[in-house]
Structure 1
Amino acid sequence: MPRVLTDWLAYYVDYACQPTESPVSYHQWIGLSLLAGALQRKGFIRWGHDKIYPNMYNVIVGPSGRTRKGMAMGIGMDILNQVPGIDITAEQVTREQLIRSMAGSLKMYRDEGSSIVKNHSSVTVFSPELAVFIGQSNVAFLADLTDWYDCGGAKGTWKRETKNAGHDEIIGPFLNLIGATAPDWIQSMLPQEAIGGGFTSRVIFIVEENKRKVIPIPKVTIDHNKLRRWLIHDLIEISKSAGEFTLTPKALQAYATWYQEQENDADNGIYPIIDTRFRGYCERRATHVKKIAMLLSVGRGNSMEITEQDFDDARYMLARIEPKMDRVFGGLGSSPSAGAVHDVMRFIQSKGEVTRTEVLNIFYRDIGSSSALEIIEETLVAMKRIRAVRDTKKRETVYYATTPKKEAARVKEEEKKK
């Protein structure tokens, strides 16, 4: 039976959204991870001397219990588990166990229209609690994850010398990661020196702070169950795809124009994410776009062609989530007060207007004293993230959320009145 769905990802998002409160963005990026898990290392784009494979490191981020991360992950895992031939690892796995799991997943395949047999060791990691998978400041494991993202590079293999004069070898490595975490856990997982570096530049963080909507009583319909069967059927068909993806002439031209614009912006110090800790990610952004475009293409048909639409949709998907990505590392920094400054700023921004007393009552454990709050206040005012106004009626200071742009406009308006 041929494929049924014209756009697998769009139908998956519709399926996942119907009975759940999770944000749409969670379902979109989990859906991309499912496509990558199904395609495995059998699809690629030839880019100069390199080959770009469709594996992704996608991490959904949100407050514990609030954004329904586990629900979104569970829906995706249920679908991928129905596809034969896909190796999915357990969450609680050590570095050594994962190496053995990848080495033991070795399979053979042929590109469409070719008689040449190739090997790949493709594994997808589903980690509803990413801190359990990565551990605490596990630098060696983070280095391995960084290496595996590139799928063995030009050699196509990954080797590691062992203590007993032997070595571990993974032929055709392909690790596809979809994880979930609360922002609080990121500091324990990632050492300060790893922030913004090799591993985090390869991760796409999908950050949400609230549910999509409230659904008191979720309902699953007959049509919903039918759609699940179609999604599984088509993902099985997608898993049979193998070969090189190519960009159509229009897609190539659109990419070239976009890439040059990105480089011009970077030369002028303009980046899609202002936080300097995302510079590595910004430099790797073009690779992310190509991976996404490849997955959108395979989700829409068997042509192995990346169209201009695929490319446009890929860059728009990134652009939609990037404004919130800097919240991931908001509380991480070398200053001991960095976390408190970030938390207070986010609280005031969420409220719009709040009294100094309210802030102290909520953050006294983190701040410690009213004098410490004064320092945080001065910092946020200098950053033009808040305004601090003495309210004579309330007899205390009131904080108002703002932005550098809004504050500049307000000051300019006041000067006009004078």
Structure 2
Amino acid sequence: MLSEQQVAEALPEKGWLRQYVEWASQCTDAPKAYHIGTGLSLLSMAAPIDYNVPFGAGPIRCNVFILLVGDSRVARKTQAIKLGASVLRNGMEEFVGEEPGSPQGLEASIRKKPKQILFYEEFGEFLAKAEEGFMLPMKTLLTRVYDCSPQGKALSKEVRGEVKNPRVSVLGGSAPEYLERHTEPTDWTGGFFSRFLVFNASRERTYTIPPGAPGMDDLSTGLMTIKNRPIGPCRGLEPGRVRAMWDTYYQQQEGMAAQAARATSGALSGAPTNALKIAGLLALDDGTALMNMPWYIQEKTLGAAIKIVGMHSQSVLEIGDTLAESRDMRDRRTVLRLIDTVEPTPLSTIVNKSKLLSRRVTEILSSLLTEQTINAVNVNQFTRNLAPGEVDTRPQAVTRVITLSTTVRTLDDDLYDADMRKVAEGKSVVLGQLAYSTDESIAPPSVSKELKVVKPTSSAGDAGDNGGNGKIDRTNGTAQPELGLLPMLQLQVGPSATVTDATSAPLPLLTFVPDDAVGNSANGPNG
């Protein structure tokens, strides 16, 4: 996460952007990194429509796409965006665009306002809508808009709907979960998100009541002053030290992109272009471009731009760790996040909160169990190490032992007959409610391929007589005939388990105990 110290180090020493960040920080406790992104998007509206930085085969236009990323309802993304919109509306409302409801709506809006900024307080909602239906082409259209390519088509010989030189900026906010769920790998590798400057931050300050600060009118006036000043043509990077600085930065960024995951390499590769855009905006801010004569990007200006884009690169790498490359991996992460790292999580909780079908959740849990990423434990029969002074208020790990070794006993004839029908059909018998945990201190079950199914009996017998098979029913001491084999999970009982008489507590449907939990003598239990 970006820190406010990083923001302080990246901000220019003076100028409109610094004034805006300082003012906005008194109006809300949103991260200061959000105010840098918002301020840059407002500066892009002060730049003339033909303003650019020469570079290579074509000029770099100074519109920007900026995305503020942070946890929902905590990070204050919406507040940061609303503050910026209020400053722009206060003096240059003609550049505030309306959120388009379709690709055709965006094209029509650009014909009406070639230069505008689109505010998306909930960019995750846009991403969700753009996954299907008539909004599907929006990402491709916005990609062209960022590149300032001509928009629209010829409507007739007399009236042309094409806009030759659009300048559209975007400022949006999204929670990281929306980026994972509502984006595809092609969004990152195909160029859509590689055009965005991303600021991933969390709050370091908390205002019960924001102190507030006067100065909105001054900020709006300052922005209009920059807009109305005559601007000279940019000649690019100043020869000498500035170009050497650029060469070093470019090579470092390319190396970072080459080593990054495929999903984020595009956003890192696009960082140099954004650095030139920001350098152009900062040149407007510090007055370098406002002299009505040719000018070069200076060392201090480029250095500040590189620091700001460095925050973007850090954010992309952080977000990249949470991005999944397929639907399967997204669903896997959704399920895994819902499994508590301390207390076991019931299957019903995972299904309800994941919003996935039960069959899908079961498939994912099976995969996680195979990977040994999680453990499956009986919800009332597990142990864990207690912290010093901690009191375990849960039921004892085992309150009932009714079998020996890997013997399985059902409660009554009706349940037994139902279990046998399932075994005959090749189905498994329900263990009771299973829970899943990532806590390694909770003993996991092991797979036993030869669990014996024993039919209950009410006849009395000698507890020491094993009937020739060594399987003893502790409720009455009689030997039980083996009637089937059932592959299932055998619970590993921890050292804090207690073994009590079979009549001391209600029975669960099935109980599994390992050899070391009760006696394993062929002549009966050892207590």
Normalised-by-shorter TM-score class: 0.7 to 0.9
Q: Which amino acid aligns with 2:248?
A: T
Q: Could you tell me which residue of structure 1 aligns to residue 71 of structure 2?
A: 63
In 1, distance between residues paired with 2:251 and 2:33?
28
Q: Secondary structure at the match of 1:158?
A: coil
Unaligned runs of 5+ in 1: 106-120, 383-389, 401-418
Higher helix share: 1
Q: Which amino acid aligns with 2:140?
A: A
Q: Secondary structure at the match of 2:43?
A: helix
Q: Could you tell me which residue of structure 1 aligns to residue 61 of structure 2?
A: 53
In 2, distance between residues paired with 1:333 and 1:127?
25
Structure 1 vs Structure 2 CA RMSD: 3.5
Q: Which amino acid aligns with 2:303?
A: D
- CA deviations 1:265-295 (Å, max 9, x no partner) are 55xx43xxx3311222222221011111111
Superposition pairs of residues 153-232 of structure 1, within 5 angstroms: 157-160=150-153, 168-186=161-179, 190-191=183-184, 193-208=186-201, 210-220=202-212, 224-225=213-214, 227-232=215-220
1:308 matched to 2:299? The reply is yes
Q: Note closer, same or farther for the CA distance 1:333–1:159 as it changes in structure 2 (3 Å cut).
A: same
Equivalent residue in structure 1 for 2:342, among 342, 347, 355: 355
Q: Could you tell me which residue of structure 1 aligns to residue 227 of structure 2?
A: 239
In 2, distance between residues paired with 1:202 and 1:77?
21
Shift of 1:172: 1.1
In 2, distance between residues paired with 1:376 and 1:40?
55
Q: Could you tell me which residue of structure 1 aligns to residue 503 of structure 2?
A: none
In 2, distance between residues paired with 1:371 and 1:48?
52
In 2, distance between residues paired with 1:97 and 1:203?
22
Equivalent residue in structure 2 for 1:149, among 141, 146, 150: 146
Q: Could you tell me which residue of structure 2 aligns to residue 257 of structure 1?
A: 248
Shift of 1:24: 1.1
Identical residues among aligned pairs (%)? 22
In 2, distance between residues paired with 1:252 and 1:207?
29
Shift of 1:48: 2.5
Unaligned runs of 5+ in 2: 1-12, 290-294, 375-381, 387-396, 398-436, 442-527
- CA deviations 1:63-116 (Å, max 9, x no partner) are 2211111110111001111233742112254322221221123xxxxxxxxxxx
Q: Secondary structure at the match of 1:354?
A: coil
Q: Which amino acid aligns with 1:239?
A: K
In 1, distance between residues paired with 2:45 and 2:79?
19
Q: Which amino acid aligns with 1:283?
A: S
In 2, distance between residues paired with 1:188 and 1:392?
34
CA contact (8 A) 1:43 1:53 kept: yes
Q: Which amino acid aligns with 1:160?
A: K
Q: Could you tell me which residue of structure 2 aligns to residue 34 of structure 1?
A: 42
Q: Could you tell me which residue of structure 1 aligns to residue 28 of structure 2?
A: 20
Shift of 1:53: 0.8
CA contact (8 A) 1:91 1:127 kept: yes
Greater relative contact order (CA < 8 Å, ≥ 6 in sequence): 1
Q: Which amino acid aligns with 2:233?
A: E
In 1, distance between residues paired with 2:254 and 2:329?
35
Task: Using structure 1 for the length normalisation, give the TM-score.
Answer: 0.73
Superposition pairs of residues 400-415 of structure 1, within 5 angstroms: none
1:248 matched to 2:248? The reply is no
Shift of 1:375: 3.6
Q: Could you tell me which residue of structure 2 aligns to residue 124 of structure 1?
A: 117
Task: Using structure 2 for the length normalisation, give the TM-score.
Answer: 0.59
Q: Note closer, same or farther for the CA distance 1:381–1:219 as it changes in structure 2 (3 Å cut).
A: same
Higher strand share: 1
CA contact (8 A) 1:53 1:151 kept: yes
- CA deviations 1:378-406 (Å, max 9, x no partner) are 75969xxxxxxx97535886269xxxxxx
In 1, distance between residues paired with 2:364 and 2:181?
24
In 1, distance between residues paired with 2:157 and 2:345?
60
Equivalent residue in structure 1 for 2:280, among 282, 294, 316: 294
Bigger CA drift: 136-145 or 71-80? 136-145
CA contact (8 A) 1:24 1:212 kept: no
Equivalent residue in structure 2 for 1:317, among 294, 299, 308: 308
CA contact (8 A) 1:62 1:183 kept: yes
Q: Secondary structure at the match of 1:177?
A: strand
In 2, distance between residues paired with 1:122 and 1:380?
54
CA contact (8 A) 2:98 2:118 kept: yes
Shift of 1:177: 0.6
Shift of 1:310: 1.7
CA contact (8 A) 1:58 1:177 kept: yes
Shift of 1:333: 3.0
In 2, distance between residues paired with 1:163 and 1:188?
42
Select the structure of larger CA radius of gyration.
2
In 1, distance between residues paired with 2:370 and 2:298?
51
